[in-house]
């Protein structure tokens, strides 16, 4: 292709892309897209996939300690769902042109981010309830608008993920509900868990809008539909009546209904802590990455066996074709 043809293709491509975005239609993998759009989506979708995979760890630690067979079965199903979410998301990310092993290597090398929330420990059984109710609740609030993301494979993956997240949130709520209606010690355990997870769950929505370098462009491209602060506010408004129904409280003395705004006001979050956690200095960053690297090493034989099997079956299919 000559330079002139390439420039022409880019101009037509850009016009068509702009048209798709303006019409609130979907960009598909075969469509021309600006490199910056491809790059930001690869970044967001792969970070999201990494979060799902690392996010299995705090809860998987509790499968053997869950208080009944029923609770173990439910928790195991939830952790498996998270693995599935990671797989849908890596598949969506791959359609943008970067192979999954490259994305995975970025995580293993510590070059890729994953959600801050998964660097906090799950200390008690009530934490599993708080993770389900608050963390999966925040995830739903953030991810339902992503079902309408302008990039087709991402939006479609999110539809299925959000359905499963709703079940996850209900299981967390139910754990907390039982504990908060149990003995005084159980209720206290539920309150402690909510106290520890409230701030980090609100930080999952990302830095304040003024400190969010990607939000505006991502909203212009209709990848994100709302800003970080808008979604955080929506989440706070949603959980206040829920915490009242649980008979628990949120650990924020500044939380109060603002009649003029029609929203709850809430106190400043600890952004210093947030930035430290995403730089690798959270309570569990090292342990999470160490476990992920170990799991990757231990899984090498599975990848090798799958590759050998794929090779063998493709050879058999090729011989059958020649034979035919
Ligand atoms: N944890 C870690 N890093 C974060 C973060 C968080 N909570 N919030 C923001 N960041 C990072 C961004 O990735 C970006 O880093 P980069 O420039 O190095 O890539 C930087 O901080 C600036 O933030 P921006 O607000 O400008 O970035 P975005 O526009 O991408 O917004 C986001 C951040 C809201 C997290 C957005 O990427 C998003 O909506 N992602 C999809 C949802 C997602 O990934 N959720 C993670 C949780 S998954 C989950 O909850 C699993 C469930 O099973 C519980």
pLDDT in tens, 230-253: 999 999 999 999 999 999 999 999
User: Residue 299: pLDDT band by 50, 70, 90 thresholds?
Assistant: very high
DSSP three-state, residue 256 = strand
Is residue 237 domain-shared with residue 289, that is, in the same domain? no
Ligand 1: atom nearest CA of 161 is 53
CATH code where residue 64 lies = 1.20.1260.10
Supply the pLDDT for residue 245: 97
**Domain count of the fold of the chain:** 2
24 domain-assigned = no
DSSP label of 29? T
Is residue 169 domain-shared with residue 317, that is, in the same domain? no
Supply the pLDDT for residue 207: 98
Backbone angles phi, psi at 120, to 5 degrees: -110, 145
Cα–Cα distance for residue pair 158/153, rounded to 1 Å = 9
pLDDT exceeds 90 at position 66? yes
Is residue 235 domain-shared with residue 305, that is, in the same domain? no
| Structural domain that includes position 164 | 34-279
Using an 8 Å Cβ cutoff, are 49 and 93 in contact?
yes
221 domain-assigned = yes
Quote the mean pLDDT of the chain. 96
Is residue 190 domain-shared with residue 306, that is, in the same domain? no
253 domain-assigned = yes
End-to-end CA distance of the chain: 40
Distances, alpha carbon 118 to alpha carbons 58, 92, 167, 255, in Å? 7, 22, 19, 25
CA angle in degrees (0–180, nearest 5) for 116-60-98: 55
Question: Distance from CA of residue 62 to its chain's centroid?
Answer: 20
Supply the pLDDT for residue 265: 98
Radius of gyration of the chain (CA): 22
29 domain-assigned = no
pTM, whole model, 2 decimals?
0.94
User: Residue 324: pLDDT band by 50, 70, 90 thresholds?
Assistant: low
Is residue 218 domain-shared with residue 77, that is, in the same domain? yes
Ligand 1: atom nearest CA of 224 is 39
Ligand 1: atom nearest CA of 52 is 51
Among 244, 259, 279, where does a domain finish? 279
Is residue 290 domain-shared with residue 243, that is, in the same domain? no
Look up tokens 């050879």; give the residue. Answer: 315
Is residue 268 domain-shared with residue 293, that is, in the same domain? no
User: Residue 280: pLDDT band by 50, 70, 90 thresholds?
Assistant: very high
Is residue 71 domain-shared with residue 137, that is, in the same domain? yes
Is residue 243 domain-shared with residue 319, that is, in the same domain? no
**Which residues, judged by CB distance below 6 Å to any ligand atom, belong to the binding site of ligand 1?**
43-44, 47-48, 51-52, 55, 82, 113, 115-116, 135-136, 139, 142-143, 203-207, 212-215, 218, 224, 228, 278
Is residue 102 domain-shared with residue 56, that is, in the same domain? yes
230 domain-assigned = yes
Question: Mean pLDDT, to the nearest integer, of 296-306?
Answer: 96
151, β-bridge pairs: 27
Supply the pLDDT for residue 263: 98
Question: Mean pLDDT, to the nearest integer, of 191-205?
Answer: 98
pLDDT in tens, 201-211: 999 999 999 99
User: Residue 316: pLDDT band by 50, 70, 90 thresholds?
Assistant: confident
Question: Mean pLDDT, to the nearest integer, of 21-33?
Answer: 96
pLDDT in tens, 91-148: 999 999 999 999 999 999 999 999 999 999 999 999 999 999 999 999 999 999 999 9
Is residue 161 domain-shared with residue 228, that is, in the same domain? yes
Supply the pLDDT for residue 318: 80
Q: Which of 134, 242, 139 is nearest to 194 (CA)?
A: 134
Q: What percent of the chain has pLDDT over 70?
A: 98
Is residue 247 domain-shared with residue 309, that is, in the same domain? no
Q: What percent of the chain has pLDDT over 90?
A: 93
288 domain-assigned = yes
């Amino acid at each position: 292709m000559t330079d002139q043809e390439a420039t022409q293709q880019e101009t037509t491509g850009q016009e068509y892309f702009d048209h798709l975005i303006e019409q609130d239609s979907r960009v598909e993998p075969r469509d021309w897209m600006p490199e910056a759009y491809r790059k930001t989506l690869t970044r967001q979708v792969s970070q999201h996939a990494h979060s799902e995979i690392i996010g299995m760890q705090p809860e998987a630690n509790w499968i053997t300690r869950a208080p009944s067979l029923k609770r173990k079965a439910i928790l195991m199903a939830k952790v498996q769902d998270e693995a599935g979410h990671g797989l849908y998301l890596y598949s969506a990310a791959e359609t943008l042109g970067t192979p999954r092993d490259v994305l995975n290597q970025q995580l293993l090398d510590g070059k890729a981010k994953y959600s801050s929330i998964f660097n906090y420990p799950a200390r008690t059984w009530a934490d599993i309830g708080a993770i389900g109710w608050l963390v999966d609740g925040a995830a739903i609030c953030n991810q339902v608008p992503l079902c309408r993301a302008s990039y087709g494979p991402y939006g479609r993956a999110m539809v299925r993920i959000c359905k499963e997240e709703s079940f996850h949130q209900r299981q967390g709520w139910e754990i907390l509900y039982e504990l908060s209606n149990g003995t005084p010690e159980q209720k206290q355990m539920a309150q402690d868990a909510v106290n520890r997870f409230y701030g980090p769950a609100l930080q999952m929505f990302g830095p304040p809008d003024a400190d969010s370098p990607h939000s505006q462009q991502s909203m212009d491209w209709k990848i994100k539909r709302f800003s970080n602060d808008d979604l955080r506010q929506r989440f706070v408004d949603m959980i206040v009546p829920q915490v009242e129904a649980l008979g628990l409280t949120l650990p924020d003395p500044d939380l109060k209904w603002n009649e003029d705004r029609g929203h709850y006001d809430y106190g400043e979050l600890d952004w210093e802590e947030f930035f430290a956690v995403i730089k690798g200095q959270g309570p569990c960053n090292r342990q999470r990455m160490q476990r992920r690297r170990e799991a990757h090493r231990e899984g090498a034989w599975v990848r090798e066996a799958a590759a050998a099997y794929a090779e063998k079956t493709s050879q058999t299919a090729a011989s059958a074709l020649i034979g035919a």
